[in-house]
Structure 1
Amino acid sequence: MDLNTAADAHALTPLLNCLLREVAEPAAEHGEGTHRLRGSGRLLRVRGGRRPARPELRRADGWHPLSHSELVELTSGELRRYTGVSNDELPVDMADSRATVAALLAARAQAAPPRDPYLLSEQSLVMGHPHHPAPKARGGAPAASWLPYAPEAYARFPLVFLALREDQVAEEGGPSAATAIDSLADALDGPRPPAGYRLLPAHPWQLELVGARRAVREAFADGRLLRLGGSRLPAWPTASIRTLYVPDPAADLFVKFSLDVRITNDVRRLWRHDLLTLRRTDAAAEEGFAALRRTGSDAAWLADRGYRTAGFAFEELAVLVRDGLHAHVLPGATPLLAAALAEGEPGSPLARTADPAGWWRRYLRQVVPPVLELFARHGVVLEAHLQNTLVAFDASGMPVQALFRDAEGVKLLRDLDRPAAWQRLVYCLVVNHLMEIGGALAERHPDVSPFVWPAVREEFLRYDAARGLPETAELLAASSLPAKANLLLRWTRADGAAARYLPLPNPLRD
């Protein structure tokens, strides 16, 4: 398959998933894989199941195949008819996402993948979010500006270190966070911060994006901000792009930065309001996982210890520090990003298991109870979707531990009404996560397909019997599950945090 054909294939699938889920309905009477578009009534035919491909539009003279650009045009017309709203921004992002995939595929062909299985899993998501119209858009910038920092291109690069005058420092998180940030100075390939200054790590792309802004430019000019140099050892961008892993045993940290680039639904900045509530949500999650450990659970929380930034560029220059892996992963186990399992990375434990039914039971036992327990006993709603969940595997490839991350995405029951909190949990855990992993397992091992959803149902019932969860019966009897409508959300320019859900047939229903 040539590069353009491969790029089209990678970009078509998530856009088709959105189009078929949000603005179409099955029209099986016209043949397998046929759907009627709600805006115009036209017929669209696809091949494949969970990863639809090869779209064809029915015209007077027969079925006509669609390229990615033609599908973008079709989608835009359908959305204008269906919503009554125009949008000239999203089609550009869709085209940008496809161009990004082409650049990533070309770069990957010339780059060496990381040897570490965990890092490889974080850097494997070439298609990206399977239900987003433009999952790989990079703000329309030339590829040369972002490729050096792209996880999908197997990037690794030094952090940039700045020195921030002490009277300009804004930080929260206590000694643990401050020590973690300051410890990165040991990797400095240059002078340490002078007296009266504090270390401020930065993402090089972040500096390129905000360095010309007046507040930052003036701080460099008057000495409030100094450039020290780079790190001797590389940091590795993870699937979120703006979060980097520093695996050096002396540090073993994740560092998360602001990037003024729209990635999927949001501009990925460390927003002030999120930073100011970070310790509250992280502390609630830490308390819940500590209680879990006391019951014998191996589930782990990668704590967001705190942040440091400059008062004059609070969001733009913020850095958040998160626990690394070494202190949390079980001895001898190998952690992998759950999203990489769903994307179908060759050689993954999901693909090579000889006991898919047993593997799935073990997977559910690691992932589901911690999420339910945090909700039921501690009022914490984890954002347990594919990119915020790591699963560790033993030497035989069986799941032995789940690790969760990202306090920014955590919600607390005391801040939400309970039905809204439960809906968010069900979307993240069941629709975004288990539906994708279960689908990938059934695709690779077709014989296990009839077992996938009964096993999920059993796991919810098992937890309910042992611990009690009032929402279980309602979930298992519901006709539908909440599916996030990313295409309609972007088309109508809704706030990225204002999730809009559509009903999806519930496979858990008996």
Structure 2
Amino acid sequence: MTDRLDDADPAAVAEFAAMENLLRCWIRETNVPRPDGDRLSLSLKSSGITLEAVVTHWSAAGWHRFGEVLVAGHGPADLATVAALIAREAGFGSGESVSGADLVARILDSARRTAEFVAGRRAEPRDPEGTTPFLSGEQALILGHPLHPTPKSRDGMRDAEARAYAPELRGSFALHWFAAAQEIVSSDSSAPMMSTLDGPAVPTGMVAVPAHPWQAADLVGRPAVVEALRKGTLIDLGPAGAPWFPTSSLRTIYRPDAPVMLKLSLGLRITNSRRENLRKELVRGAEVSRLLDAGIGASIQSRYPCFDILRDPAWLAVDEPIHGLDVVLRANPFGADDEFRCVAGLVAARPGIGPSRLATLIGSLSQRLSRTPGDLSVEWFQRYYLAVIEPVLWLCGAHGIALEAHHQNTLVQLDDQGWPVGGRYRDNQGYYFMASRIGELDRLVAGAGQESDTTVPDEVADERLGYYLGINNILGLIGGFGSAGLVAETELFHALRGGLAATREAMTVAGLRVPAMVDTFLTSPTLRCKANLLTRVHGMDELVGPVATQSVYVTIPNPLRS
């Protein structure tokens, strides 16, 4: 059967990709069982309508593939219809007042932007000369998260802006600079590092503060900024310097020749949140950097010399009442030839261009080594587990720090043949300090977890590790292998069980606390999973409110047991 993602019309590709995402989300978040045959039937009680879809690949990991989607008795369905029906059904019977209009609008916006990305990438499938492996991986997410209803929605960004700001279109732009009076600026080790960037000169007694150009245009209309500009405590200096490239997160920007990457505030709704840096997140990045320098980094390197955490050692921000004019400085260790790839980009579909980069890599290994793609997929996965997954589990067990190591936050290092040999984690938002271990961290860095609001109950840290590392990262990778037809998922589940059992034994022998995720995956019939569709239906922002209640979690079957 022809893959509908290879349709000649980019708009048709984008609509179909969005429908697949919606169906995957609905299946996972409402525990729809595997159909007996090759046709999925979803009875929607709120509307009395049944959706049907041809199943071309059923994935225990969640990365299902479909053919035609229909409204039973009426014929082929379009995206707007499917989105409206599922949004209505998602709020049905919840006892809450839920409007699906915003969700439907964002689904359609995501699909419209995706169509532009597909068209642009088909027109220029090859990376421009000078693109580093790291940047290539960051620009590879054409369709986005396969289990999110609005992976490419950018509410508030005009089309012309998207062409400059979108990594999918290989955009680039100069920073927009402000000069801020020293008395309204806070920082942590930032000023010396900022001087390494090619910003404009500022008046004596003022500090140069960079901003994303979209954010700058939005800021100058906010009342607090208007007042600061009037008083002269803030001066708009305009754009300056060499162009920077947006990475997969859109607001973290990279330049191959710069010693740092910059994580900027961007007041757009991207996936589940408005992406403006919170002060506690700025503090958290510097705090984790100090913890790493105080001994945890050396501890990681002694056990896993090819795994590390990218440091966010410094930040600079204009104080309240101004919000959204701030910057995190992140280490940039990636040279022109360093083969570090964002895992999300590695497994991402490339509609109408060719197989995923993961499939291309396995195909190349198969030709070179004269081995089957299935055997190579199992070995590649096992090596990935040792290089990337086990170090994250060990960090949690040894030091009580859980990471949001989902695909976009995880970088895998490849050798010259394409085998995983190392990994990196990045994200100053995604740390959880286990309450039972905070005393150990406090002895390394006084006050750890307090101002940064990083300390959580152990059960919350365990749940988040289980989702981000276990479901999003590991099961997502297994789903990427399976949906590309490289190997039966059951073979990778067996490999995962073996890896988790070996990790458990090694950590037990070493006297470490084994993360609850390990036993949960090995023995529990169910797993706790973030529900991206339901989180969007209820209008939740994952950066607002207590950590334990920032998103909807549901219980799903454990594919290692079922």
1:364-402 CA-partner distances (Å, limit 9, x unpaired): 111111111111111111110001000010111011110
Q: SS state of the match for residue 44, structure 1? A: strand
| Separation in structure 1 between the aligned mates of residue 226 and residue 52 of structure 2, nearest angstrom | 52
1:86 to 90, 98, 120: 98
The match for 1:96 among 86, 109, 129 is 109
Looking at structure 2, the residues matched to 69 and 448 of structure 1 have their Cα atoms a distance apart, in angstroms, of 34
User: Is residue 96–residue 138 contact of structure 1 (8 Å, CA) maintained in 2?
Assistant: yes
Whole-angstrom distance in 2 between the partners of 1:374 and 1:344: 31
Q: 1:272 aligns with which of 275, 279, 283?
A: 279
Alignment of 1:352-363 (within 5 A): 352-353=361-362, 354=366, 355-363=376-384
Q: Give the deviation of 1:27 after TM superposition.
A: 6.3
Q: Secondary structure at the match of 2:309?
A: strand
CA distance in 2, matches of 1:291, 1:231: 41
1:343 equivalent to 2:348? Answer yes
**1:338 to 1:296, Cα distance in 2 relative to 1, 3 A:** closer
The alpha carbon displacement at 1:466 in A equals 1.3
The 8 Å contact of residues 23 and 38 in structure 1, kept in 2 or not, is answered as no
Higher mean displacement: 120-129 or 442-451: 442-451
Aligned mates of 2:356, 2:538 — CA distance in 1: 40
1:490 and 2:536 correspond: yes
Q: Please say if residues 481 and 487 of structure 2, whose CA atoms lie closer than 8 Å, have aligned partners that are also in contact.
A: no
| 1:166-205 to 2 correspondences below 5 Å | 166-172=182-188, 174=189, 177-184=190-197, 187-188=198-199, 191-205=200-214
How far does residue 149 in structure 1 lie from its aligned partner after superposition?
Answer: 0.7
CA-CA distance at 1:291 after TM superposition: 0.7
- Which of 5, 24, 29 is 1:22 aligned to? 29
Deviation at 1:470, TM superposition (A): 6.0
- Counterpart of 1:303 (choices 301, 307, 311) is 311
- The residue aligned with 1:501 is 553
Cα distance in 1 between the residues matched to 2:304 and 2:116: 46
The answer as to 2:438 corresponding to 1:433 is no
Residues 361, 32 of structure 1: CA spacing in aligned structure 2 closer, same or farther, 3 A cutoff? Answer: same
* Matching residue's letter, 1:295: R
CA distance 1:482–1:101, shift in 2 (3 Å): same
2:409 — aligned with what? Answer: 388
1:26 maps to amino acid:
P
CA contact (8 A) 2:132 2:337 kept: no
* Counterpart mapping for 1:67-466 below 5 A: 67-84=78-95, 85-87=97-99, 88-109=101-122, 113-114=127-128, 115-172=131-188, 174=189, 177-184=190-197, 187-188=198-199, 191-248=200-257, 251-284=258-291, 287-312=295-320, 314-326=322-334, 333-344=338-349, 346=355, 348-353=357-362, 354=366, 355-414=376-435, 415-444=455-484, 446-447=486-487, 449-466=489-506
Greater mean alpha carbon deviation, residues 227-236 or residues 396-405 = 227-236
- Paired with 1:501 and 1:400, the residues of 2 have a C-alpha distance of 33
CA contact (8 A) 2:53 2:66 kept: no
Cα contact 1:390–1:403 (8 A) shared by 2: yes
Cα 1:403–1:230 shift into 2, 3 Å: same
Q: Look up the match of 1:12.
A: 19
> CA offset at residue 39 of structure 1?
3.6
Superposition TM-score, scaled by structure 2 size: 0.82
Instruction: After TM superposition, give the deviation of residue 245 of structure 1 in Å.
Output: 0.9
Secondary structure in 1 matching 2:22: helix
CA distance in 2, matches of 1:387, 1:236: 16
AA at the equivalent of 2:182? E
1:127–1:181 Cα change, 3 Å: same
What is the rounded CA distance, in whole Å, between the counterparts of 2:139 and 2:278 in structure 1?
25
**Contact 2:153–2:271 (Cα < 8 Å) also in 1:** yes
- 1:341–1:437 CA contact under 8 A, matched in 2: no
- The CA distance in 2 between the partners of 1:384 and 1:233, in whole Å, is 31
Q: Does the Cα contact within 8 Å between 1:243 and 1:254 map onto a contact in 2? A: yes
How many angstroms apart in 1 are the aligned matches of 2:25 and 2:489? 23
Question: The residue matched to 2:262 in structure 1 has which SS?
Answer: strand
Unmatched runs of 5 consecutive residues or more in structure 2: 1-7, 58-62, 367-375, 436-454, 509-513, 544-549
Letter of the structure 2 residue corresponding to residue 442 of structure 1? G
Q: Equivalents in 2 of 1:344, 1:436: separation in Å?
A: 13
Structure number with greater CO (CA < 8 Å, separation at least 6) is 2
User: Structure 2 counterpart of 1:283, which letter?
Assistant: R
Q: What is the rounded CA distance, in whole Å, between the counterparts of 2:89 and 2:166 in structure 1?
A: 33
Task: Determine which of 59, 75, 96 is the counterpart of 1:64.
Answer: 75
CA distance change for structure 1 residues 398 and 27 in 2, over 3 Å: closer, same or farther? closer
Distance 2:321 2:167 in 1: 26
Distance apart, 1:444 and its partner CA: 3.6
Gaps of at least 5 residues in structure 1 are none
Find the aligned partners of 1:223 and 1:470 in 2 and give their Cα distance. 53
Q: Distance in 1 between matches of 2:326 and 2:41?
A: 46
Deviation of the 1:445 alpha carbon: 5.0
- Deviations 1:61-92 (Å, cap 9, x if unpaired)? 4x622111111122123224243543132111
- Two-structure CA RMSD over aligned residues (Å): 2.5
Cα displacement (A) at 1:424: 0.7
Q: Is the 8 A contact 1:281 1:411 kept in 2?
A: no
> Per-residue CA shift, 1:239-282, capped at 9, x if unaligned?
1111111221xx33111111111111111111233334443344
| Alpha-carbon displacement from aligned partner over 1:111-131 (angstroms, at most 9, x marks no partner) | 674432221211121211211
Alpha-carbon shift at residue 140 of structure 1 (Å): 4.8
| Paired residue secondary structure (1:401) | strand
TM-superposed CA distance for 1:17, in Å, is 1.3
Q: Which amino acid aligns with 1:275?
A: L
Say which is worse superposed, 469-478 or 380-389, in terms of deviation.
469-478
Counterpart CA distance in 1 for 2:16 and 2:109 is 15
Contact preservation (8 Å) 1:349, 1:397: no
Cα distance in 1 for partners of 2:122, 2:29 equals: 35
Query: Whole-Å Cα distance in 2 between the matches of residues 109 and 208 of structure 1?
Result: 31
